[in-house]
Amino acid sequence: MIIKSVESRQFAGLRDVKLNFGGGLNVEYGKNEAGKSTVINLLYSLLFREAALDDRRDKDFRAAYFPAERKSGEKGDYIDGRVEFSSGGRDYALYKRWGKGASARCELETEGGIISDPAKIAEILSGEGCLKYGRGIFDGVVFESQKNRERVLKDILDPKKSDLKTDLSETLSRAIDETGGISAEKLKEKINEKIAGLAFRWDEDRDRPEKNRGIDDPWAISAKNGDCVLKAYYELSALVSQRDDVIRYERAEEREAAAKEAFDRFARVYPALQRRGAAAEKAEALKEKLEAYKRALKNWSPAEKKLSKATELKAELDSARAKEICLKIAEYRKNREELLKSASDIGDDEIKQAKRLEKSVAALKGRLSGMNVSAELRLAEGYTASAVSAVDGRKLDLSSETLNEAAVISVDGVMKLLLSPADVDIRSVKAELKRLSLELSELLKKYGAADSDSLSEIYVKSRDAKRGAEAALSAEKALLSGLDYEEIERAAKPQSRRKDEIERELYDLCGGRNPDQFIGSLKSGLEGYAQSYGTAEELKNLCEKAEKELERLESELAGLKDIPSEYEKIPDPEAEYNRLNREFSALSDELRALAYVKDRSSEELGEEIERKSAAFSAKKEELRRWRHISAVLEAELEKSGGKPLAGIEKSFGKNLSILSEQAEVVGFSGESSKLYSRGSEMSAEILSEGTKDTVLLAFRLAVIDSLYPEGGGLCVLDDPFTEMDKERCERACALLKEFSKRHQVIFFTCDEKYEKLLGKIERV
């Protein structure tokens, strides 16, 4: 904020007064009673006192500043004032006329117009940097007053947390980071806006657009983000792509030209190739046909002869075979007959019966045997004995001392002794035995066998004979192979030579092949010829025709020999023609698609690309730099976050050290603060006036600097150095001059010495 002028028609003792001020240091000199303090109060009142006065609240104000009784003339009945100031780049003029009710007036002239609504005026002014910190700060800091001096000093040094310090602390929590034109939050916001704008849809880690969306699928960039890395990237990419297209176009052009040339060259030869191909194909086919004709022609007559001969020999052979068969069959039949004759009807059951009978007989005999009698026969003299078997009547040797079977021992004329096992009824056994023996004997006799074994033999022989007969029958059938014997018999004619001779001749003729197959294939071959060619004569004609045609084709081919060697071996000219045509067309299409770059050159684009590339790098660098700035900001905010008054303490301390090496304030930003002078702690009460002035000045300047770090603050001083010694005064003036480089200082004094000390003076 810069106060440009203050004026009044009537305010306390002031009449029609106007003071003009500029930025920086304003030194207003006026003698005592000139109204310097009144001007300060006028200024203060214009800024903070409402125009509409209240009897109680503003009683002192009225008393102090309304016109007093005059020795002569009427006293005035109003007071007013006007202050012109600029703030935030805008000019204002505030007019107030203090009074009660309707007599009060307040108007704010802005660049847009004049506002008279007090609430609106207050709103506008409180929004402006100069007044936004509130009256309290102004009271103690911007505007010094005697009344406030002691209070402020006490507040600075009071060990308990004072209201002033609390206010300052809160204000400075905001204002310590206030730039005067921009808050910390705003600054952060602005930086983040820059970053967000630059980094729009840009993946910094991968150094490419987010989701890799290049110029083929670009992100939309609004005007708001028009200055971003992405845009620079797209512009560069577009040019690079264009240059790539130019290169592709050039290459495609060359390839197209080459393809066209290749195609044209081939196209010139193609008709000849086609004709040649067709002719060659025809000739090839015709050659094959002709070969077949000739083969057929060559083979036809011999084949016929062979067939005739083979047929004849076959018939002869068949007849010989038939004869052979008949003889064989006769033999088989004879053999069969004999075998059948020799076979008997003996069946297997008779064999079993015979064995069973034999076994029974043996068993019976066994029953009668099985004795083991030991006897000694002693005969009286003149007697003889004999023994016969009771089993079979066989004479037994009595000399043996053992009998194993039932026996009848006869002593002539004496006795017959039947010896038998005790439990055998020898009579019944013998009867049975007799019966069975008879049966067996009859059975054996039937077949002329001696026993069951020979009966078995007879059976086997008979069986074999029968089998033999069957085999002979089977052989006969096999030989006939389903043919009728009578037919074969009829076919069998007398042969003049042997079968094997016929066979040999036939097989020689057939070349070792089966005659039937041989004859069959000859027949089918000849039938084929007949079907295909009709007759041999007709085939001959066909041959001649084909030869003529082939000659003609070969002559045509000879005429097409003028084809470049590179095309000689092309198997399929049509396919090659199409391939070349397709290739050429594809390249032409490619060229058409790229035609938009045909009159650009890669060299020209190279220059542009260089520029865009530099611009892209510059944008990325800008982003990187903003990120660094943001990081530095965060670090600084963190540092200052805990102690809002630390900055003031530092400035305060610094200012004090400039003004006085003796004085030192410690702990101002903490719960308590102490003032030391020459190392001894001082309280507000015992400070000298000069030191009080020093402390206050140091403090006020520190606060204003902190509240308006960018400058634009205001400090109004009313002869603040009166109690300072010369040296200190000089230091104070030097400090003030430095301070006034950043802030407006309005310095009222009644001492002309400040003209030298401060370098200027306005006499009012």
List interacting residues with another protein (CB under 8 A). Answer: 88-89, 129, 176-182, 184, 186-187, 190-191, 194, 250-251, 253-254, 257, 598-601, 603-604, 606-608, 611, 614, 618, 622, 625-626, 628-629, 632-633, 635-637, 639-640, 646-648, 650-651, 654, 705-706, 708-711, 741-742
**Cβ atoms of residues 203 and 219 within 8 Å:** no
φ, ψ of residue 713 to 5 degrees: the values are -85, 180
- Crossing angle for the helix pair 163-175 and 146-157, to the nearest 10 degrees: 80
Nearer of residues 215 and 646 to another protein, judged by Cβ: 646
Shortest distance (Å) from residue 255 CB to another protein: 10
Q: Where are the alpha helices (DSSP H) in 660-723?
A: 689-707
d(C-alpha 707, C-alpha 141), whole Å: 11
Shortest distance (Å) from residue 628 CB to another protein: 6
DSSP-assigned beta bridge partners for residue 209: 202
What does R_g of the chain's alpha carbons equal in angstroms? 76
- Both structure tokens of 419: 């010896």
Nearer of residues 183 and 311 to another protein, judged by Cβ: 183
Shortest distance (Å) from residue 608 CB to another protein: 5
- Both structure tokens of 631: 């990081």
Shortest distance (Å) from residue 277 CB to another protein: 30
Question: How many degrees, rounded to 5, is the angle at CA 675 between CA 669 and CA 681?
Answer: 135
CA atoms within 13 A of residue 177's CA, in its CB half-sphere: 21
- Both structure tokens of 608: 């542009």
**Cβ atoms of residues 47 and 38 within 8 Å:** no
Shortest distance (Å) from residue 660 CB to another protein: 19
- In one-letter notation, the amino acid at residue 189 is E
Shortest distance (Å) from residue 633 CB to another protein: 6
φ, ψ of residue 27 to 5 degrees: the values are -105, 115
Strands, sheet with 14-20, edge to edge from the N-terminal-most edge strand: 14-20, 2-11, 79-87, 90-98, 105-109, 114-115
Nearer of residues 268 and 763 to another protein, judged by Cβ: 268
Question: How far from each other are the two terminal CA atoms of the chain, in whole angstroms?
Answer: 23
Shortest distance (Å) from residue 251 CB to another protein: 8
Shortest distance (Å) from residue 99 CB to another protein: 34
φ, ψ of residue 380 to 5 degrees: the values are -70, 165
d(C-alpha 532, C-alpha 525), whole Å: 10
Nearer of residues 244 and 608 to another protein, judged by Cβ: 608
Nearer of residues 96 and 700 to another protein, judged by Cβ: 700
Nearer of residues 256 and 358 to another protein, judged by Cβ: 256
Nearer of residues 234 and 533 to another protein, judged by Cβ: 234
Q: Where are the alpha helices (DSSP H) in 343-404?
A: 348-368
d(C-alpha 466, C-alpha 473), whole Å: 10
- In one-letter notation, the amino acid at residue 737 is K
d(C-alpha 52, C-alpha 598), whole Å: 81
Shortest distance (Å) from residue 648 CB to another protein: 7
Query: Which of 574, 52, 12 minimizes the C-alpha distance to 266?
Result: 574
Nearer of residues 217 and 607 to another protein, judged by Cβ: 607
φ, ψ of residue 435 to 5 degrees: the values are -65, -50
C-alpha torsion sign, points 661, 666, 672, 676: negative
Say which DSSP state 74 is in. P
Nearer of residues 705 and 718 to another protein, judged by Cβ: 705
Q: By three-state DSSP, how is residue 676 classified?
A: strand
Shortest distance (Å) from residue 63 CB to another protein: 39
Shortest distance (Å) from residue 705 CB to another protein: 4
Shortest distance (Å) from residue 238 CB to another protein: 14
Nearer of residues 261 and 500 to another protein, judged by Cβ: 261
Shortest distance (Å) from residue 712 CB to another protein: 9
- Both structure tokens of 164: 């002033």
Nearer of residues 623 and 663 to another protein, judged by Cβ: 623
Nearer of residues 99 and 711 to another protein, judged by Cβ: 711
Shortest distance (Å) from residue 179 CB to another protein: 5
Nearer of residues 251 and 726 to another protein, judged by Cβ: 251
Nearer of residues 46 and 187 to another protein, judged by Cβ: 187
Nearer of residues 515 and 709 to another protein, judged by Cβ: 709
Query: Which of 581, 582, 571 minimizes the C-alpha distance to 265?
Result: 581
Question: How many degrees, rounded to 5, is the angle at CA 10 between CA 6 and CA 13?
Answer: 95
Shortest distance (Å) from residue 118 CB to another protein: 24
- Give the pairing of strands 25-29 and 744-749: parallel
Question: How many degrees, rounded to 5, is the angle at CA 562 between CA 560 and CA 564?
Answer: 125
Nearer of residues 509 and 704 to another protein, judged by Cβ: 704
CA–CA distances in Å: residue 285 to residues 244, 271, 278, 448, 547? 54, 21, 11, 88, 12
Question: How many degrees, rounded to 5, is the angle at CA 414 between CA 411 and CA 418?
Answer: 60
Shortest distance (Å) from residue 588 CB to another protein: 12
d(C-alpha 109, C-alpha 102), whole Å: 20
**Cβ atoms of residues 368 and 391 within 8 Å:** yes
